[in-house]
A and B are shown apart, each in its own frame.
Chain A
Amino acid sequence: MAATLAETGGHDRGQSPRPLWLRLLIITAIFGYALLFGEMFLRMLKPQALIPRYVTAGPEGVRANMPDTVFRQWTPEVDVTLRYNAAGMRDDRPPPPLEKAPGECRIALLGDSYFVGFESRFEDSFAVRLEEELARRGRPCRVLNFAVSGFGHAEMLATLESRVRPWAPDLMLASVHSTDGFDNLRAGLFRPGPQGLEPTGQTFLPGVAISDRLNGFAAYRWAQENSHLYSAGREWAGGMGKQLLSILRVQQANADAGDEPEAAPDAEDNGTETPRYVASQPLNAALIRQLARESEATGARLMLFEIPIAGRRTGYYPIAENLLGAELLAQVPFASPAPAFNAMKAPDVQLYTEKGHKHWTPLGNRVAARVAADAMFAQQLLPAPQSIDASVGSPSSTLPASS
């Protein structure tokens, strides 16, 4: 007769208990085998997007790209190599000298992974396409890519002074993305106050200390770029952490505003549910106004550029008005590729990747860059060419052959 669990403490009688070391060994072996099994399972049945970020702590207390890093991103759709140059810009070229040549035009890109050009080859990235569009229009500019994966406006503002200003850009092009509202809130760096933006925190480095430590191990770096199981686990953990932090900060923001708590956004959100973003709107608007002021202090204009939410080739939804409010958008130079994207929508037109992290495809980058260049010319945001510096030229002429 079988003994009950209470009598045996969970073990069947009649078996001599294994020594502890053997049990530990078996558990370790099973765990290792399970990891191997999981890796094989994912590779065969559900390949994951391998999107390492290589961000580290910047001197301003927010994230920065790791300088002089070359890494690979792989998804079932793309296989690309990314290079962060010595200044931490996503660029296959070395950073230009700080000192601007006479007549040289510089544009600083402030944004997240869309502007970094994740899931795109360098020559297909938004930054390069923008340089090409401007060169084609007879106003060559060097695009300095200060975008960092995961950045919101709070972090852009935190890095403007030290990271961007020394390069004396003529135009700051900042992205407006659906994640910005919650990124701004969860960063906890600023809050809107009666006198404008008030600093509330010194640093925002989510998970950076751990990843910095882990990046010291070659096995970890290998796993980031090659392990599907690691990638899946990381996305899950990162997503959960982000969600939790968002909920906490949204509740806090609502409590400050005296409103009821609202839910954090989900990935399928088409951006049409305005109330979800209301909690972050005052902070977003204050951050953009401050960004505009700081840009002007640098001698540059600020332009906002929207990253629409993609609906699987069925439509592209604007988000900026929900995030920033119509009033602010009327005051700050702004452009959105959403109308151009929607004009192109068709079952066989792919503007966003679909098997990775939904970044722009080469076509998406090209269309977005064309819209941005059109807007820059239409709104006369670029300085009038005093003399066109031939050394800037077209980016394709300066690209290394290996890229």
Chain B
Amino acid sequence: MLFQTIPFFIFFAFVFAAYWALQKQLVWQNRLLLLASYVFYGWWDIRFLVLIVGGTAFAYILTPAVAGKDLPRRQLLEGLGLTLAGALVSFLPDVADGWRYLLATLGLMGLATGIVLALDRMADSEQRARLALTIGTIALLCLIGVFKYFNFFADSFVRVAGLFGGDVTWTTANIVLPVGISFFTFQIIGYLVDVRRGDFPPSASVLTFASFVAYFPQLVAGPIERASHLYGQFLKPRRMTAEGLKSGALLFLWGMYKKVVIADNLAPITNDIFGRAGTATTGELLVGILAFAFQIYGDFSGYTDMARGVARMMGFELMLNFKLPYFSRTPSEFWTRWHISLSSWLRDYLYISLGGNRGSTLMTYRNLFLTMLLGGLWHGASWTFVLWGAFHGFILVVYRLADVDRRVMPSVNGWMATNPVVGLAANTVLVSIMFALTLLGWLFFRAPDMATVGHYLAGMISGFDMRADAWGKLAFFTLPLIMVQCWQRWTDKLEFLAQSPPFVRLNLVLFLVFSLVFLSPREASDFIYFAF
């Protein structure tokens, strides 16, 4: 169910009406949200519902051990009951084929129960907590590993074996990637680490915890929420105000515009040019990479805005995920503006766990590089994503080596105050350099294989023919966005629609609505990040 399609609007209309009616009954409202979230997730493929339900239940029954506490039997039973219910819903519709999976789920439930009961018997609470977190993290990473990376490693194994004349094609299984798996597993891992660190109390309500994990607006493509931010919003009554409804709807509208009008119209340009990178002119290659830069921004930030808008209409506030990333002046700034929920997750749970900048300078560089490398791999099982992560790790290290953040940035900021013209010029140079580096990164990200990367780079540096048919189309769809973003940057008003004077807002809304009606492609397309 895509946000920009009729089924979602119908779904949301029913959910919203029921949610409104239950305003004074928090528990029932949360139950409704959980049910709606599972319906939303099961809409793609009901069989995968068991993954999110099982992951949630496992984390739920593991939580007391992670906190170094004893497991209440009620909590164990609630977790097992949730998994069983999820498995029955997932597999009963196709029982002829699903009974094997049902049995496997029951087996895993038995294993999980055995593990948590064994942990429960450990006397040393510190050791129990450490072991429980390790088991929980590994189990959740295995979940991603099986569904997301198995094909990649199996295919690589087949290829390597093929070089030596071996045939191991039997190892490939063509496992389908469940939508959103990387997002909700990371959200659960973050929660477990927070509980282990004592930053968040362990959950004792299966309903609240499951609602937090599965909350439908952010379930399939983020933002990857923190328990400290979202969990508490399920515990107290949400305030549904006219102001929240209006600003949520406006945020949704803006997000939908970015996705449907910008991203979906640029996608054919990107697909065409990346599909013939070996024969395209330099101008076409440039158009292709620029189109992708705006496509992925429109696609992903559009999704986030729609998610945040839907949540806000229901009285929730999701975290900011994008903050004008293409105005970044350094790589470190870029990662505080692009996919903020992932980059801060990686910083808090990976970079710091690796040692952060507490060790030697060399270790800091290693940690930075490794964090970005793994961040790249998080996006998908492909060498191009690894290269993209490595590239961002590399430029982070280079900028840190040059000490740009501490030496150059204060001067530039100072110029903005004392001599705005020079400050603006310096900022423009820094932003342009960073944007060019970002484009190079997007090349690695978007290229279907390393051969395309080679063709693209060779084509970009070997010619000066800047002609391309798609320049006009690129400008047509990106100029309104660029203008709005310049305005947002200048006024520092991210939610420019809600913050505009009424007449300006009316015109902007009309522009967005007419654009959606008349400039959007006929077919709705998936969000890029659904594949991650």
Contacts and interface: CB of A to CB of B under 8 A. Distances in A.
B514 interface: yes
Main secondary structure of the interface of B (DSSP, over half): helix
Nearest to B480: A45
Given A6-B20, A38-B514, A11 B507 contact: no
Interface in A11-43: 11-12, 30, 33-34, 37-38, 41-42
A218 interface: no
A3 B241 contact: yes
B205 to A, nearest CB: 24
A30 B506 CA distance: 9
B436 interface: no
Contacts of A2: 239, 241, 243-244
B123 interface: no
Given A42-B518, A46-B519, A232-B518, A5 B510 contact: no
A38 B510 contact: yes
A397 interface: no
Interface residues of A, number: 19
B240 A6 contact: yes
Contacts of A12: 241-243
B241 A41 contact: no
Given A46-B518, A46-B519, A41 B243 contact: no
A5 B241 contact: yes
A37 B514 CA distance: 9
Given A41-B510, A42-B518, A46-B519, A6 B23 contact: yes
B460 interface: no
A4 interface: yes
Contacts of A30: 506
Nearest to B243: A2
B487 interface: no
B245 interface: yes
A233 B11 CA distance: 26
A42 B513 CA distance: 12
Interface string B470-513: 00000010000000000000000000000000000011001100
A41 B240 contact: no
A391 interface: no
B245 A5 contact: yes
A11 B23 contact: no
A387 interface: no
Contacts of B239: 2, 4
Contacts of A34: 510
B240 A4 contact: yes
Contacts, number: 50
Interface in A33-79: 33-34, 37-38, 41-42, 45-46
A34 B509 CA distance: 10
Given A2-B243, A6-B23, A41 B518 contact: yes
Contacts of B23: 4-6
Nearest to A233: B517
A37 B507 contact: yes
A194 interface: no
B505 to A, nearest CB: 12
Contacts of B514: 37-38, 41-42
Nearest to B503: A33
Contacts of A10: 242, 245
Nearest to B238: A4
Contacts of A37: 507, 510-511, 514
Nearest to A36: B510
Given A30-B506, A41-B511, A8 B242 contact: yes
A11 B507 CA distance: 22
A38 B518 CA distance: 10
Interface string B67-104: 00000000000000000000000000000000000000
Interface in B227-252: 239-245
Contact of A33 (B240, B244, B506, B519): B506
Contacts of B244: 2
A11 B241 CA distance: 8
Contacts of B511: 37, 41
Interface in B317-345: none
B244 to A, nearest CB: 8
Interface in B201-255: 239-245
Contacts of B506: 30, 33
Interface string A232-243: 100000000000
Contacts of B507: 37
Interface in A138-192: none
A65 B511 CA distance: 37
A294 B518 CA distance: 45
Nearest to A3: B241
B510 A4 contact: no
A27 to B, nearest CB: 12
A220 B273 CA distance: 45
Nearest to A228: B518
A3 B510 CA distance: 28
B242 A11 contact: yes
B479 to A, nearest CB: 11
Nearest to A42: B518
Contacts of B240: 4-6
A32 to B, nearest CB: 12
A40 to B, nearest CB: 9
Nearest to A46: B518
Contacts of B24: 6
Interface string B118-146: 00000000000000000000000000000
Among A4, A41, A42, residue most surrounded by chain B Cβ atoms (within 10 Å): A4
A10 B510 CA distance: 22
Interface string B23-40: 110000000000000000
A8 B244 CA distance: 13
Given A37-B507, A41-B511, A4 B518 contact: no
A38 B507 CA distance: 10
Among A5, A11, A33, A38, residue most surrounded by chain B Cβ atoms (within 10 Å): A5
A12 B241 CA distance: 8
Contacts of B510: 33-34, 37-38, 41
A8 B242 CA distance: 9
Interface in A218-253: 232
B483 to A, nearest CB: 14
Given A5-B23, A41-B510, 19 more contacts: A2-B243, A4-B23, A6-B20, A6-B23, A6-B240, A10-B242, A10-B245, A12-B241, A30-B506, A33-B506, A37-B507, A37-B511, A38-B514, A41-B515, A42-B518, A45-B476, A45-B518, A46-B518, A232-B518
Interface of B: 20, 23-24, 239-245, 476, 506-507, 510-511, 514-515, 518-519
- The 6 lowest CB-CB distance pairs between A and B, nearest first, are A2-B241, A41-B514, A37-B510, A5-B240, A6-B23, A46-B518
